[in-house]
Structure 1
Amino acid sequence: MITLGLALPHYDGFFPDPSITGPARTRAALAYAQRAEAAGFHQLWVSDHLWLDPGDGRRRHTPDCWALLAALAASTHTIRLGSLVTPVPLRVPALLAHQVATVSDVAGPRLDVGLGAGWHATEFADAKRPFPPAAARLAAVEEAASTLRTRLGPSAPPLWIGGKRSGILALTARVADGWNMAWDPTPETFSQRHKTLLATAERHRTPGGLPPRSSVGLTTVLGADEEDLRRRWLRLRRWVPAGHLDTISFEHWRRRGLIGTPEQIRARLATWEQLGVDHIVCALGIPFGLFDDDQIELLAAAVQQSDRSPLPQAPSEEEVE
């Protein structure tokens, strides 16, 4: 059964009120996490960057990924948590394992570790870290996966790897428990990459070994009906930084991700499930942002109207423990 996660908003200004920054930003992220848990979301995902520049020349800063995950682990009870994804060459593997172990102490079995090869060369320079060639970054991901499993032993959290190029897919097939493809792949593109992943996993895994679970990150916007969806689109276009949607038509925009009325959202969920997707990471307007304060509850209510609700009841605290 497909499950839904939330790309948690946690960057400066990536909230319905763009003036929310700094400490208020971190407190808002924790509050939205609790709302998502109450609404029945399966998982919260946190981005791992020092900052992002959405194109308007303003660096949008963020809490540290693993410090925020520790705070989330302490302030939630049943919802799963994960990094999407930690750029491995930006962190020392032994120190990353120490951070993961600390969060796992608090989160227990609710934690997933998302790993990636990194892409933001300017961020690496800002952190005074080398940005090696792609092959070396892939090797670093494999080393980090091995270090985490060796140091944490049987209690090591599931490892997810994010990416879509052939090298990262081959690595995922060999060593990962799960795979994420973001943002907004078409069903056709996902299906092609997924078939490659499964074929590679079949060649490299031990007999009977399960292939990695699959997830996609999708822009998600819900409207009660067509008129409401168009109103929310206009609000999003005014809100999104750097005017990224100014040249895109409503009809073109609505074809992406999980955008539509409740009935349309449920139909798209069914399509992704048929393609073998286990989990969808919902970006409510933009990745790790939230433009519309009621989207969390609207989305939860819409999918729970389906007979095969992808938002199952969260386990009790006793089941988690």
Structure 2
Amino acid sequence: MDLRIFTEPQQGADYETLLRVARTAEDLGYDGFFRSDHYLKMGDADGLPGPTDAWITLAGLARETSRIRLGTLMTAATFRLPGVLAIQVAQVDRMSGGRIELGLGAGWYAAEHTAYGIPFPAAKFGRLEEQLAIVTGLWRTKPGETFDFDGRHYQLKDSPALPKPAQERVPVIVGGMGAQRTPELAARFADEFNLPFASVADSATQITRVREAATAHGRAPDSLVYSNALVACVGRNDAEVGRRAAAIGRDVAELRENGLAGSPAEVVEKIGRYAETGSTRIYLQILDLDDLEHVALIADQVMPQLS
């Protein structure tokens, strides 16, 4: 079971904070450092000092880390034109030496679009499908050839499809709990399918749907990685768990039910239940980015038991 760190910088984190967390995660042996792609805080957080752009942040981290995988959960298709996104991700992949992964979603948070003047179209899922086709198509186009696309939302003509990423194939992550279109998009375009904040039972159901969709598209179901994103709140004892839950404004009982909360032994046991669904990767949502001892505790007492 791979463990990755997943952050929500729009809640209040500057680049220096993210760099500290990413370097700590790298030093402690985590497989990846991922971040959300949002421009507006959610809930009661003050959001200070303000949002950081996901791909600008990842470009910086690409030059200031050396091993850890880097990416988004999820880049919003509403934020960027697909041709521009393909260029950005390819460039950051080259800057990292081939360590980038692209999580791409439809976009859902209307308020951040209103706040920053970003169009929020009604047909978001159709745009996501076309973006996935364009981004992956541009990367697949051989040097010296051109790429064309004539869709409802986007049209490309005689694109040189440059630059190319450092990796032969940048892993693409699709996620969500939709019963039909989401599994189909994963089967067609994704290297990984991610389940955001889903229960064990719901994860099992959705993974089954994606596996069936892969088979229907003539693809081996095991060619996809299946992963979960879950809030982490781990402590050596109940008092430490309670302190960490209070710091992020959450209830311990709720976190035990819906996330990965409790002692290292409790968390290992629950991760095992996710593994039984077919999930092989966990993105640990760390909400208190100043609590690096939390990241270290999980690496010391949870990670070794998941080998």
TM-score (norm 2): 0.83
| Match in the other structure for 1:177 | 191
Task: Say which SS state the counterpart of residue 198 (structure 2) adopts.
Answer: coil
Higher relative contact order (Cα pairs below 8 Å, separated by 6+ residues):
1
Residues 1:28 and 2:17 are matched in the alignment: yes
* Unmatched 5+ stretches in structure 1: 15-24, 238-244, 310-321
Mapping of 1:46-57 within 5 angstroms? 46-55=35-44
Whichever residue aligns with residue 10 of structure 2, its letter is Y
Task: Say which SS state the counterpart of residue 185 (structure 1) adopts.
Answer: coil
CA 1:80–1:28 in structure 2 vs 1: closer, same or farther (change >3 Å)? Answer: same
C-alpha contact (below 8 Å) 2:192/2:225 kept by paired residues: yes
Q: Distance in 1 between matches of 2:97 and 2:10?
A: 26
| Match in the other structure for 1:190 | 203
Residues 1:269 and 2:266 are matched in the alignment: no
Q: Distance in 2 between matches of 1:292 and 1:138?
A: 35
Residues 1:136 and 2:138 are matched in the alignment: no
Deviations 1:144-203 (A, max 9, x none): 333344333773311111222121221111221111111x21100011011000001011
Q: State the identity as a percent.
A: 26
Deviations 1:206-236 (A, max 9, x none): 4x57532111110101110233323333343
Q: Distance in 2 between matches of 1:210 and 1:60?
A: 42
| Match in the other structure for 2:94 | 105
Q: CA offset at residue 142 of structure 1?
A: 3.0
CA 1:73–1:58 in structure 2 vs 1: closer, same or farther (change >3 Å)? Answer: closer
Q: Distance in 2 between matches of 1:58 and 1:199?
A: 41
Q: CA offset at residue 265 of structure 1?
A: 1.2
Task: Say which SS state the counterpart of residue 255 (structure 1) adopts.
Answer: helix
C-alpha contact (below 8 Å) 1:87/1:116 kept by paired residues: yes
Mapping of 1:199-218 within 5 angstroms? 199-206=212-219, 210-218=222-230
C-alpha contact (below 8 Å) 2:21/2:292 kept by paired residues: no
CA 1:118–1:13 in structure 2 vs 1: closer, same or farther (change >3 Å)? Answer: closer
Mapping of 1:1-321 within 5 angstroms? 2-11=1-10, 13=12, 25-55=14-44, 61-125=50-114, 126-143=116-133, 144-150=135-141, 151=161, 152=164, 155-165=168-178, 166-182=180-196, 184-206=197-219, 210-237=222-249, 245=250, 248=251, 250-284=252-286, 286=287, 289-290=288-289, 292-306=291-305, 308-309=306-307
Q: Distance in 2 between matches of 1:257 and 1:132?
A: 31
CA 1:65–1:13 in structure 2 vs 1: closer, same or farther (change >3 Å)? Answer: closer
CA 1:30–1:277 in structure 2 vs 1: closer, same or farther (change >3 Å)? Answer: same
C-alpha contact (below 8 Å) 2:172/2:192 kept by paired residues: yes
CA 1:293–1:124 in structure 2 vs 1: closer, same or farther (change >3 Å)? Answer: same
Q: Distance in 2 between matches of 1:52 and 1:146?
A: 33
C-alpha contact (below 8 Å) 1:97/1:147 kept by paired residues: yes
C-alpha contact (below 8 Å) 1:222/1:295 kept by paired residues: yes
**Aligned residue-pair number:** 282
* Unmatched 5+ stretches in structure 2: 142-160
C-alpha RMSD over aligned residues: 2.3
Task: Say which SS state the counterpart of residue 91 (structure 1) adopts.
Answer: coil
Q: Distance in 1 between matches of 2:25 and 2:248?
A: 20
Q: CA offset at residue 130 of structure 1?
A: 4.2
TM-score (norm 1): 0.80
Task: Say which SS state the counterpart of residue 124 (structure 1) adopts.
Answer: helix
Q: CA offset at residue 279 of structure 1?
A: 0.9
| Match in the other structure for 1:22 | none
Q: Distance in 2 between matches of 1:178 and 1:54?
A: 29
Q: Distance in 2 between matches of 1:267 and 1:168?
A: 29
Whichever residue aligns with residue 206 of structure 2, its letter is R
C-alpha contact (below 8 Å) 2:77/2:105 kept by paired residues: yes
Q: CA offset at residue 296 of structure 1?
A: 0.6
| Match in the other structure for 1:240 | none
CA 1:263–1:101 in structure 2 vs 1: closer, same or farther (change >3 Å)? Answer: same
Q: Distance in 1 between matches of 2:136 and 2:182?
A: 13
Q: CA offset at residue 101 of structure 1?
A: 1.3
